Amino acid sequence: MRKAVIAGNWKMNKTPEEARQLVSDLKPLVKGASCEVVVCVPAVDIAAAREAAKGSNIHIGAQNVHFAKSGAYTGELSAEMLVKSGVEYVIIGHSERRQYFGETDATVNQRVKAAVEAGLKVILCVGEKKEEREASYTDALVEYQTLIALTGLENKQVEQIIIAYEPVWAIGTGLTATDEQANETIGVIRAALARKYGKNVAKKVRIQYGGSMKPSNVKGLMAQPEIDGGLIGGASLKAEDFSAIVNYDAE
């Protein structure tokens, strides 16, 4: 049985003080959650969020990591830096990193390997654009992105990766894949993992849905057999909305 993981991606939002307040507000609201609860915050918010999360079930994640251990990479953070700052999770390959900052499948793979080596829990993002879905490239694209990103990892390492399927056309647009569409594509990803790494590995990998999951649609999405959680954007910036998603299975 795969334990669901709900991760908030704050993107470029919240000052340290705002981060401290949001995490503090979240703590009592998600205390009894059955899923893993993660907030992936801007680098400047890591210390404040970590301090506010002490004694709770909220885990802290970063939004990116560099593949080098150190060097002349102005503005970047190494995996070791994140680990030493108390970060447990890291998002790699988000569509916005690919679209705006030149992230490629090759650099995603480098970052994944560096993060895994340092002991970080990776949330690997894959997904298609609107024109790619309309051209019926979705299945081939997400399979390719997934397998390239995991190149060089051993089976035991792959089992620990969290994959977030994020249809790019649904991010920030208010559009959402139907429950069945999301489940079907996540099933494609799991089938690709099974062919490459074996069924036992594929059964253990948790695959989230990352396309505008919100309180109004979380129950339907989480009822799908292949969906193991969500990577939440805008709805993670409000304690009430995020906690409603986290507590999707509460009576």
Q: Report the catalytic residues.
A: 94, 166
CB contact set of 49 (below 8 Å; sequence gap of 6+)? 19, 20, 23, 39, 41, 60
CA 215 vs. chain centroid, Å, equals: 18
Helix (H, G, I), strand (E, B) or coil at 163: strand
Alpha-helical regions (H) of the chain: 16-29, 46-53, 79-84, 95-100, 105-118, 130-134, 138-149, 155-159, 179-197, 199-204, 218-222, 239-246
User: Which amino acid, residue 191?
Assistant: A
Element (H, E) at 232: strand 229-232
